[in-house]
Structure 1
């Protein structure tokens, strides 16, 4: 079996994609469907200026469930064997809905655990993300092999091969790590392949597939309100003011200036705003606000143009600042701060532009960094749609479930409707068990600030699967390197995870 392979086609494809993503950064959304641009797991901070490990390539099976299909493709992975002593465990970091980053091979809490437990470390990039391209493009007919089930089989195949390539002694224990969607995969991998994976650390993983994820904005509301009730009341007041401005031409012009819209909110022939554009505008504002909450103070490396890490306290300080003017102007100021931080010139929000971008099936498209692929997985497996149904007062009830279902149909075709979505969600929960997943030696870790915890296990349900619920922390916060400013409960959570690993590996 070939495990190290380099393909010029992949190199050219990724180079082209990188250039176009840079050129189009002002057009593509910063936060869409609960996913940040580049993936939900960011880049960990590192004070080490040393070289990163080189990418390696693994010949992976295209379709693990059709044994007559023998096609393969090149899947990217990274390895760190500097800590490994034979007899020590093997740690596997699971790649997710974005490019795998080699920085995770030298820093992060899992590397601290690997150092103390003398572990061999692998990071496997998820199929269809980053440089791991199973097909020539992202046409609908070629997305049929993008699923969590195929990804889990990839991991099983990889583990089996690496045991042979690295002459891993028989009986060596593998531990899977993952954050966000890969946190779900880590739990499911242990449940489905217990003979290959001895234990898993599942961080911020949503386990229950659900179409209308209205609880998401419940947590956003609570997280902002815990900082300051005025923070939330400003948003509620701003919503009413925005709605009032949409009713006049002068108001529409003011909104374009205030929020630096790439395109104006135009009215139709009967003097009404296009309902889809209005929904897209509010959903974009809400999504960017939710992104602040989801990643608030998670210790990732922030690479914005101004190096400004916009946390909940920063956002609320803007929203509470009456010197900035009316609530709508404070929300607009926060929007401008986000645009500047992410080196984005204007707010791209229109429904038409969103659909046009998501329809682009080329690997060189801006959305090929993961936007189109993640949307496919939400439309065909998970749902996870952060609708306005739960907290309509926050930023208006303009994007209910039907809004997202329409996106599925408009991007992938009319057959991807609500009926197919619900069937897919039912099958996902049957396949994995939802919140009733039956397994052992899995620790479920969530932060109270992270909206995704609403679809995860936050309290211990099984004796051999403890849950760690960290008050005041965000999405995947425990995975990042420790910082002096870390809350005591975050420090304690990392120690508890290490203690569990010691117990399970002894």
Structure 2
């Protein structure tokens, strides 16, 4: 499914990365979790894996089961009496590259803050249960994750003499939502939050995502989304004729001969190929290289230049060229676009399974809390073939969760957190106009102490990354604005 892995890495600290079930591949080829211990030539700091004891179920006093949750500490900038900054992990392994660099560390150095990062339960090395069976995944939720944060803040605060310090939560994408909700639900424990690119409104159907993709492509070249649509429509037509399957297999360098036995097969292929564009748009121009993430030089401009290159042939051929470029960039020998393979991987409940890096867990959270399904149900976007019905059916295939249950769970999430109508204080919501997730975030001030920072021309979590000389002026100003807000709030 092409949901952004909110954390599947960069912004995840965080992140919502587009995991077109490349979600499975993402954990393998994008380098998640390669920074469990990091040594930097300037700081000469090695970040040790530390562990805190958590309850399996924070909301059942009769359940005494416990487990160990991983976290990291950076004390390089701490000055006695300074604040505590807490980076929240999301739907993937906690990447301690963020303990070495990033805007929050620039703030920490200026403010004398102690920096902590807590890995999300069920991701990375934080394994609360023996496996990822659907029965065990019922302990995976944002509410349990917030309770983990609350207990962590209490225990570590007492152990390190930081109980009376002012704590600030940071997160990007899904962890950005957690940062906002941590302040909302535990205001006595966290003084302020920076909720970057945070989709705070849950929704089953999220066709607006692809609408933003269209607008972002059009901002580079008005013809670009039209060419993408022609290519996508051509592929849809060819999928109706089995005689074309061998050519499609070759054109897109599929790992196995294309077989279309159900609508799920064709939808999965179409979504996977659309994911190339979705991922690039979401992270356009973002500075992810410091995390060891390849391919950050592939931008909207690059994609649109390929789609506009008539020497490559018709739009369909150019669409295939984009797919091959992405495979080459991410060191993929071929594209596994088989839904049956995906189903096998996603229903493997072992911690050693190929989807255990975050795919099985995150999709479960979408089915039981958020939805976020980036369907092609809107006419105002360039792709075809993966409607909401296809997205939701995966919840039944993977976890035996019905469409009705998904809808009910999403409604409960908005009831619990408030959706767009958050009522709290001292939360700032940075979002980028290029990032499709801004459609579910806060892009206008709710109140003076619930401000939005809407950054024109930037993508997902852009303000979290280390500053570069090529950054847009408005991005630099946004980082400064957030810093000034934190300065102001920490005096309150």
Same fold, judged at TM 0.5 (above): yes
State whether structure 2 residue 287 is matched by structure 1 residue 287.
Answer: no
1:344 to 332, 350, 360: 332
Q: For residues 14-413 of structure 1, what are the structure 2 equivalents within 5 Å?
A: 31-32=20-21, 37-38=26-27, 48=42, 50-168=44-162, 170=164, 172-266=165-259, 274-301=262-289, 309-391=297-379, 394-396=382-384, 398-413=385-400
SS of 2:223's partner is helix
Q: RMSD of aligned C-alpha atoms? A: 2.3
1:499 to 445, 461, 484: 484
Q: Deviation at 1:312?
A: 0.8
CA distance in 1, matches of 2:351, 2:470: 40
CA distance in 2, matches of 1:436, 1:306: 37
Residue pair 1:30, 1:37 contacting (<8 A) in 2 also: yes
Residue pair 1:215, 1:390 contacting (<8 A) in 2 also: yes
Q: Alignment length, in residue pairs?
A: 469
Q: Deviation at 1:242?
A: 1.4
Q: Tell me the equivalent position of 1:421.
A: 406
Q: Tell me the equivalent position of 1:436.
A: 421
CA distance in 1, matches of 2:333, 2:439: 34
| Structure-2 change in CA distance of 1:48 and 1:477 (3 Å) | farther
CA distance in 1, matches of 2:424, 2:19: 36
Q: Tell me the equivalent position of 2:440.
A: 455
CA distance in 1, matches of 2:440, 2:381: 22
CA distance in 2, matches of 1:405, 1:246: 22
Q: Deviation at 1:427?
A: 0.7
Structure 1: 5+ residue runs without aligned partners? 1-28, 269-273
Q: Deviation at 1:145?
A: 0.6
Q: Deviation at 1:101?
A: 1.0
Moved more, 29-38 or 324-333: 29-38
Q: TM-score, normalised by structure 2?
A: 0.91
Deviation digits for residues 188-211 of structure 1 (CA, Å, limit 9, x no counterpart): 000100000000000001001100
Q: Tell me the equivalent position of 2:457.
A: 472
SS of 1:137's partner is coil
Q: TM-score, normalised by structure 1?
A: 0.88
Structure 2: 5+ residue runs without aligned partners? 1-17
Residue pair 1:204, 1:452 contacting (<8 A) in 2 also: yes
Q: Tell me the equivalent position of 1:9.
A: none
Residue pair 1:59, 1:72 contacting (<8 A) in 2 also: yes
Moved more, 274-283 or 127-136: 274-283
Residue pair 1:179, 1:205 contacting (<8 A) in 2 also: yes
SS of 1:435's partner is coil
Q: Deviation at 1:70?
A: 1.4
SS of 2:431's partner is strand
Q: Tell me the equivalent position of 2:9.
A: none
CA distance in 2, matches of 1:239, 1:117: 50
Moved more, 281-290 or 29-38: 29-38
CA distance in 2, matches of 1:127, 1:267: 37
Q: Tell me the equivalent position of 1:25.
A: none
| Structure-2 change in CA distance of 1:201 and 1:220 (3 Å) | same
CA distance in 1, matches of 2:237, 2:218: 25
Q: Deviation at 1:228?
A: 0.5
Deviation digits for residues 278-333 of structure 1 (CA, Å, limit 9, x no counterpart): 11111111122101110111101278897563111111111111111110111100
CA distance in 1, matches of 2:188, 2:259: 59
